[in-house]
Amino acid sequence: MKIAIIGSGYVGLVAAGCFAELEHEVVCVDRDEAKLARLSRGECPIHEEFLPELLKDYVGNRLRFTADLPAAVAASEVVFIAVGTPGSDSGEADLTSVESVAREVARGINDYKVIVEKSTVPVCTAQRLATILEQGGAPRGRFDVVSNPEFLREGSAVCDFLFPDRIVIGSSSARASDKLRAVYAPLTSGAYSMRADAIPAPDGAPLPPPLIQTSTRSAELLKHAANAYLAMRVSFINAVANLCESVGASVEEVCAGLGADSRIGPEFLQPGIGYGGACFPKDLAAFHAVARECGYDFALLDEVKRINEMQRERFLGKVREALWTIKGKRLAVLGLAFKGGTDDIRESPAIFVVEQLLAEGATVVAYDPAAMPRAREVFTELEYAEDAYEAADGADGLLILTDWEEFAALELARLRRALRYPIVVDGRNLFSPERMAEEGFFYHSIGRPQPRAQRALKLRKAS
């Protein structure tokens, strides 16, 4: 099928690459000429597994980039709107880009088109979009607006897109639903996963994925509800972790028992320094604003946010507890991205922690496998290291702020030798407290009892 994607951010670009992988003809639109030039050369602007390969394979044949939005729409049967919907001061989603894009889309409607909301938008946006398209001169019978929310996560976006838990189509038009079903047919028929050259399916992915058909409003609402629910789980487990700390219980053991309940499940129960990123904080606020507009006070969402913000402060408290004074200390920081697998630092709790430590007079030397180029653009007062050991070299303590897999695989003896003092404050529970104690670290983590550093104690006893 001929598909236009408006917006080449995380969602738009991943969708563009993946639709090309599913053998559709894709044109991706952006107004940033410099970005378009890079994309047209096949360069990948974000750190996302498998995306560079998709761009390399398809740019110039099934996938092209342009700034000419109306022409892209005119040449396509299905148009996905995947532009940003940032948060405003009042929490509401700022739909300025969606509206201006819709006005341009109207100019390209020369034949029947399915206009798809891919961006996360408040409920009832489809209705607004239809009005804008009509005002722009597109006759009512020439288009349908449908909602097709995206559930991909940064860091595993390509796999999430190609092997989703479900595909949701929110539409009141059978004609539009049929078109969208055809777009996803390679996934829902199982044909893609059986291709010899397919990207391998992650463990546990439902094959083929179920397709859930809903009303347009239900689809819009369920996307907000999904992110709010997931954020709530993170805050819930962080609150439980805090309780565990008070009584000497282990949040890991609690999670093992909790997650074994099939009604609860084990996913998304990892305590840490709180959620961040471009989605949860913004979508939680937008969902709250939607509820407010509907006359419902969704106070639960306030509490989710409050716990999340408190979690970062608690972590800073642990750092102060472990290091006693902060001013003048040299601190190694592992991780700046809001989670592992991405170079995205938007709303990253790691960045919040680093900013606080700098404000308190610490020197911070940071290492992140992917996010340093982005961090460098906004953070000049940081020192950056080539790897974790260099960051640790001579530092008074080491903080783990992002759950990168490579951090969990670090050589602990080497790390300890590099550090001036063997203090590790782990905001992501990447190591077992027992092992860290055996390796001689003074190790602090989230929601777990803290054994004393054995080697350090032994050495002290021996002397």
In angstroms, the CA 370 to CA 345 distance is 10
Q: Which of 44, 244, 255, 279 is catalytic?
A: 279
Assigned token pair, 443: 């190790």
Where helices occur in 48-124 by DSSP H, the ranges are: 51-58, 69-74, 96-107
The correct pick among 151, 298, 389, 421 for binding ligand UGA (CB under 6 A) is 151
Contact 251, 244 (CB under 8 A): yes
Beta-carbon contacts of residue 298 (< 8 Å; ≥ 6 apart): 287, 288, 291, 292
Q: Closest separation between CB of residue 150 and ligand UGA, Å?
A: 6
Q: Closest separation between CB of residue 11 and ligand UGA, Å?
A: 6
**Residue 335: count of CB within 10 angstroms of its CB:** 29
Restricting to residues 234-253, which ones interact with ligand UGA according to CB under 6 A?
234
In angstroms, the CA 28 to CA 8 distance is 7
Q: Closest separation between CB of residue 147 and ligand UGA, Å?
A: 14
Q: Which helix (H) or strand (E) holds 316?
A: helix 299-323
Q: Closest CB to ligand UGA among 280 and 407? A: 280
Q: Closest CB to ligand UGA among 181 and 346? A: 346
Q: Closest CB to ligand UGA among 174 and 256? A: 256
b/e 405-422 (16+ beta carbons within 10 angstroms → b): eebeebebeebbebbebb
The correct pick among 230, 289, 372, 436 for binding ligand UGA (CB under 6 A) is 230
Active site residue 279: yes
Q: Closest separation between CB of residue 347 and ligand UGA, Å?
A: 8
**Segment interacting with ligand UGA (CB under 6 A) among 22-30, 34-42, 227-235, 372-380:** 227-235
Q: Closest separation between CB of residue 279 and ligand UGA, Å?
A: 3
Q: Closest CB to ligand UGA among 35 and 153? A: 153
Beta-carbon contacts of residue 421 (< 8 Å; ≥ 6 apart): 396, 397, 442
Restricting to residues 322-341, which ones interact with ligand UGA according to CB under 6 A?
338-339
Q: Should residue 152 be labelled a site residue for ligand UGA when binding is judged by CB under 6 A?
A: yes
Query: Three-state DSSP class for 111?
Result: coil
Q: Closest CB to ligand UGA among 21 and 48? A: 48
Q: Should residue 171 be labelled a site residue for ligand UGA when binding is judged by CB under 6 A?
A: no
Restricting to residues 252-311, which ones interact with ligand UGA according to CB under 6 A?
268-270, 272, 275-277, 279-280, 283
Query: Three-state DSSP class for 164?
Result: coil
Assigned token pair, 51: 């995306």
Q: Which helix (H) or strand (E) holds 302?
A: helix 299-323
Which DSSP category does 23 fall into?
Answer: T
Q: Closest CB to ligand UGA among 10 and 442? A: 10
Main-chain dihedrals φ then ψ at residue 333, nearest 5 degrees? -120, 125
Contact 149, 218 (CB under 8 A): no
The correct pick among 8, 76, 125, 227 for binding ligand UGA (CB under 6 A) is 227
Q: Closest separation between CB of residue 237 and ligand UGA, Å?
A: 7
- Interface residue list for ligand UGA (CB under 6 A): 120, 150-154, 227, 230, 234, 268-270, 272, 275-277, 279-280, 283, 338-339
* Catalytic center residues: 279
